[in-house]
Amino acid sequence: MTRIILTRHGQTLWNTEGRVQGTLDSPLTEKGILQARSLAFRLRDEGIEHIYSSDSLRAVGTAEEIRRELGLERLSTDSALREFGFGEWEGRIWQELRVEYPEIFKIWDSEPHLVTTPGGENMEIVQKRAWKFLQHIIKAHQGQTVCLVTHGLTLKLLVTKALGFEVHEWAKTPWQHNTALNILEVEGQQWVPKLIGDCQHLDDLELN
């Protein structure tokens, strides 16, 4: 049995500004760093042997807090864990995009899996690349406990797949707040959820 721990980076500057991040980056806020440290403290007794992160700096910064707290020697990064690529939208304010692209957002609000953003990705592409990497991790670390730090949409799509839902059923799984914690046990093709989208470690911090 392999244990997979999936989480999201801490709060960033662009999170607070309502700005599209995607493959671009913005720094963790002071609160985001506190969120990451709180998560790291919570994970001390989970027996994590390996940690992987998206190569985006906000994810790496979060993963480093976990690595240091757990005393792990190495943090590995991979672009497969990056956030949904929003193409031309990256760096823009969400609300401004809604005004500029009303027809696209009409679909996005009801059936986002049908949307390929201008110059960017769609949900199926993101889920496939992240899931392929996750399968590689499971094969490489059978019988171990591994932590992966990724991003809001990518994480939600991974959890959706792990729980047996299709991409178009993504709304059936909970939104992944900053540093949301997911713990799943994998045996062959069977995924057993032990914790999904949990944020108890943020009880003393305002949830974002």
Which of 17, 49, 64, 83 does the annotation list as catalytic? 83
> Is residue 83 flagged as an active site residue?
yes
Return contacts of 43-46, CB within 8 angstroms, 24+ apart. 43/5, 43/69, 43/70, 43/147, 43/181, 44/69, 44/70, 46/3, 46/5, 46/145, 46/147, 46/183
* Burial call 179-208: b when 16+ CB within 10 Å, e when fewer: bbbbbbebeeeeeeeeebbbbebbeebeeb
2, 114, 161 from 134: Cα distances, Å = 12, 24, 11
Which of 9, 65, 90, 201 does the annotation list as catalytic? 9
Closest CA to 157 of 143, 144, 169: 169
DSSP one-letter string for 48-92: --EEEEESSHHHHHHHHHHHHHHT-S--EEEGGG-----GGGTTS
Q: Give me the residue label for tokens 């963790």.
A: 28
> Is residue 103 flagged as an active site residue?
no
Q: How far apart are the first and last CA of the chain?
A: 33
Active site residues: 9, 83
